[in-house]
Amino acid sequence: MGVLAAAMATGLAAPRAEAQTLSAVLEAEIVTLDPHFTPAYITRTFGYMVFDTLFAMDRAGQVKPQMVESWSSSPDGLTWNFTLREGLRWHDGQPVTAADCVASLKRWFTRSALGGRLGAATASVVATDARSFTLTLKQPYGLVLDTLGTTSSPGPFMLPERLANTPGTERIPEIIGSGPFVFRRADHRPGDRMTLRRNAAYVPRPEPADGLAGGKVVKIETLEIRVIPDGATAAAALQSGEIDYMQYAPFDLLGQMERDRRLRVMGFQGLDQFTGHYRTNAASGPFADPAVRRVLLSLVDQGEVMAGMGLTGRYSRTCNAFFICGSPYESDVGTEAMRRPSIEAAREALKQTRYAGEPVIVLVASDLEAPKVSSEILADRLRRAGFTVDLQMMDWASVLARRSRREGWSVFGVHALGVDLHNPLTNSIIGLNCTNATTGGYHCHERLTPLFAAFAAAPDLAARQKIAADIQAIVYEQAIAVPWGQFAQPAAYRAVLRNLPVSAIPLFWSVEK
């Protein structure tokens, strides 16, 4: 007797198919599936669902073992031995081996700024048997586990050796992971939806799930990821029950969603919050002069920006700490000028510079709410302080293209997650200092370079905190970037969901419908 017939015969209701499927709208369509190929957040989200990592970060920001069962290091910290958990398998049924992990690390070293630092400090990484490998350093590196468990994108996801041998400049030809969800090409309709299926062979860790760490027990059969680019349309689909989860609830609809008994709004704190910054161009225009850039320190009013986005104190806060508030590297070093923002003070400071009325080109991303509002508010305050402002509206893709040029822009607003910004080595605003500065405004400050190396080699948290404060002092002395606020981009979901992990990176293990 079939399940449905048996249920009818006993008078019990059969499980509804829709109760086994969770439908979600994420921040964007998942276009790049190679988890090493791009730093795009949406690809990182896909990575955590389909692939797995050697270590992972819990809700408290602590790095815990994930694929690794045990590890040890030599007294001098130069030799590290790792053993994988038993029972790990790729989605094609093959066992996960140490050789797979060695090849994956070597590829990731070429794609990640933080991974590249560990790679540069590495003398060798070799498999010693089917489940064990050894990492040997040629110089001290105090962040081995932090690097292997980083959330920085692109993440240190493990691939089968045959795929990991694909050069980092090319995309892997197949999507085969070992994570809690399985991707099949036949379930992907680009521009419409992607369906991920529960990995029935996945062996979760025995401890409870905790952030990205712990036992990833999947309790739904399928995860349907819908493509609905317009936020208002996605919000309507959520309210009608067409979808179950929306990663970015529109700011102007938060109050309405909070009052809807059918919905829940998920706010975030600490490393799960975003921090916004104004990035300045040091290669050309008025902001090539650090004295002119420093005027922004007294000009930017974070409270005004947060209010402009319609965010209340529950979802936002002012924060001058460059490595975000609530992180281990929070500091007030160098922030004196930002504590009392004032148009008048900025106007007086500008008069003390050599600024002669040259246009300040403010790029405004018309299709992204936070960058749009923050940049428009900055443009208004720049005018009131005495700057000549040329405000240029364009989509975000055009902003990215423009910022890669040395001329044609002065400043724009952008935001990133605290899990990336809190560490000096993964902070995208300063991480490319004096190397490939196309994403950071062509800043080059030689004093920062040895501090990055010292941070990586530092033996403990206290030493790293001191170095991070020294880095922050230079960041504000040179006005490389100015923060415009720390805030949550709340998610919204149907009240029928239970045990949905609280995470700014969408996670769908543990959740029940």
Identify the residue with better confidence: 31 or 3: 31
**Residue in the block written with tokens 């923060």:** 483
Angstrom CA distances, 16 to 4, 25, 258, 389, stand at 10, 22, 28, 58
pLDDT tens column, 151-204: 999 999 999 999 999 999 999 999 999 999 999 999 999 999 999 999 999 999
Min mean pLDDT across 12-16, 90-94, 126-130, 478-482 is at 12-16
Q: Could you give the CA distance from residue 323 to residue 269 in angstroms, rounded to a whole number?
A: 14
**pLDDT tier at 429, thresholds 50, 70, 90:** confident
pLDDT tens column, 8-56: 333 333 345 566 999 999 998 999 999 999 988 999 999 999 999 999 9
**pLDDT tier at 150, thresholds 50, 70, 90:** very high
**Per-residue pLDDT at 8:** 31
Strand 122-127's sheet: what is its strand order? Answer: 68-73, 79-84, 132-137, 122-127
Contact of 406 with 458, CB cutoff 8 Å: no
**Per-residue pLDDT at 437:** 56
- Domains of the chain (ranges, CATH numbers): 57-164 (3.90.76.10), 272-487 (3.10.105.10)
**pLDDT tier at 2, thresholds 50, 70, 90:** very low
**pLDDT tier at 312, thresholds 50, 70, 90:** confident
**pLDDT tier at 369, thresholds 50, 70, 90:** confident
Using the predicted structure, report yes or no on whether residue 83 has a pLDDT greater than 50.
Answer: yes
The arithmetic mean of pLDDT across residues 234-261, rounded, is 95
Q: Which amino acid is present at 413?
A: G
